[in-house]
Amino acid sequence: MSEAQEIQIGQQQDAEVRKEMGVYNDRALQEYVTTLGLKLAQVSERPNLPWHFTVLDVPAINAFALPGGYIYITRGILPFLDDEAQLAGVLGHEIGHVTARHSAQQYSRATGAQLGLILGSILVPQTRPFAQLGESGLGLLFLKYSRDDEEQADALGVKYASRAGWDPAGVPRMLTTLARIEEASDNKGVPNWLSTHPAPVDRVQKVQSVVQQAASGAARFTSDRDGYLRRMDGIVYGDNPEQGVVRGASFLHAGLRFAMEFPPGWDVNNGQTQVVAKEPGGNTLLLLQPVQQPIGRSIQEVALRSMDSAGFRAASGGRTTINGLDAFVGTYEGALQDLGRVTVRAAHIALDRDVLLVAGIAPQQTYDRVEPTFIKSINSFRPLTRAEAEAIRPNRIDLYTARAGDTWQSIAERAGRGVIKPSTLAIMNGHAVNDQPRPGERLKIVVSG
Ligand SMILES: [Zn+2]
């Protein structure tokens, strides 16, 4: 792949990434990350690429690179980095994937069909509205690298960070934090930096000798923890109301101004393009997503057409209203890859200029048992007033100085129920989960909206 091709692919994919994942609306933070990234890129082997650095409005912990010098970091990973040297380590690592042409190689290896699938699932989700069950379409975009590539990128991250004046020990410290997140995670299978970057705990050891080399003979390095913490103060933690937040079993969307209730106790996952709730231990699902480019003059036509194009045959259905909103609710038969023959209870609901789909999906033989649950959730869909929408606030990072007697538990309890786990607080402040904060230690904490 030529450099011109690399840049062209990066440019095309960049437009998709920005549109699908969203750019975090904080100019000062974007400029900070860009300034830092450019310093690192300038000391790399490819300083003349048109480098771009973007903070995405995504709560997942992730960073990735596209060919041609496009580097992305999620707002979700930022609070888990504990100083500027660690941020430099992550950006340096991703720059390394570009300078070593790992990302270009991965794109070259992908066949035409694979690329089509990547583009298909991102560009035109309406062609396969149920295609993403169990795997995020965007997960496909995150290129998986080999272990050798990862270790090379770690070493390059160390090299660029130290050349540009940051403490190269930020790389193993950042990898240690990622290893702790992985260990504490009960969310396996969610596409994030961990699933595309194998076994950080091994990499900590591998990178240590590189760090020692980089550190020897150097004058002085900076980590700037205080400055970094100040940059983190106030950034959104977790879901953003503009894209919808999960609060217990409720889903509230301030941008589109609606709310609905999922069945209590179900595992609700607010993804980038859809919300999927799963019955614990079962293979019954409820999903919520916008109908992309709805076609039809009536809600009935929109519903039947979009279900038909997804391969679902209407068994029954009728026009109705749900909390004052025009809707078409139907029962459909079809098949899904992992579930086999399924029955779907689907409501297509008109909300201003959008059409929202709420679909309960169950294997045919168990559908009757869960139908009342599906109906209850569908009927909970309701518009929000402007005032209600404005009252939904995101959780945010705040700074706090630990006092004698503070524990992660006591700090987490003050934030409120379910806002953040004590172990997560420990990890985001660079501690092992069984450590406790030291009195006087400056900490990142989470406050509810
Ligand atoms: Zn990597």
* pLDDT tens per residue, range 71-114: 999 898 899 999 999 999 999 999 998 999 887 776 665 544 33
What's the burial of 338, exposed, middle or buried (CB within 10 Å: 0-12/13-18/19+)?
exposed
352 alpha carbon to ligand 1 midpoint, in Å? 42
Centre of ligand 1 to C-alpha 417, Å, is: 35
State the Cα–Cα distance between residues 319 and 300, nearest whole angstrom. Answer: 7
**Does the 241-390 domain belong in CATH 3.30.2130.10?**
no
Choice between 183 and 233, residue whose per-residue pLDDT is larger: 233
Pairing of strands 285-290, 275-278: antiparallel
CATH class assigned to 395-447: alpha beta
Distance in Å, CA 100 to ligand 1 centroid = 11
Q: Is the pLDDT of residue 190 over 50?
A: no
Tell me the CA–centroid distance for residue 175 and ligand 1, in Å: 11
Q: Average pLDDT in the 362-375 region?
A: 96
How many angstroms separate the alpha carbon of residue 85 from the centre of ligand 1? 17
Beta bridge pairs of residue 247 = 250
Across 1-15, 243-257, 275-289, 384-398, the highest mean pLDDT is recorded for 384-398
- Every domain of the chain and the residues it spans: 3-232, 241-390, 395-447
Does the structure show a pLDDT above 50 at 362?
A: yes
Residue 134: Cβ-neighbour burial (10 angstroms; 0-12, 13-18, 19+): middle
pLDDT of residue 274: 78
Distance 153 CA to ligand 1 centre (A): 6
93 alpha carbon – ligand 1 mean position (Å)? 6
Q: State in Å: Cα 73 to ligand 1 middle.
A: 12
User: According to DSSP H, which parts of 362-407 are helical?
Assistant: 367-379, 386-390
**Do the domains 395-447 and 241-390 match in fold?**
no
DSSP 46: -
Phi, psi of 135 (to 5 degrees): -145, 135
pLDDT of residue 401: 97
Res 436 pLDDT > 90: yes
Ligand 1 center from residue 13 Cα (angstroms): 18
Where is pLDDT greater, at 47 or 195?
47
Query: What integer pLDDT is reported at residue 197 of this predicted model?
Result: 59
Start-to-end CA span in the chain (Å): 47
Choose the most confident range, by mean pLDDT, from 4-18, 140-154, 239-253, 399-413.
399-413
- What's the pLDDT band for 198 if we cut at 50, 70, 90? low
pLDDT of 50 = 96
CA of 38 to the centre of ligand 1 (A): 18
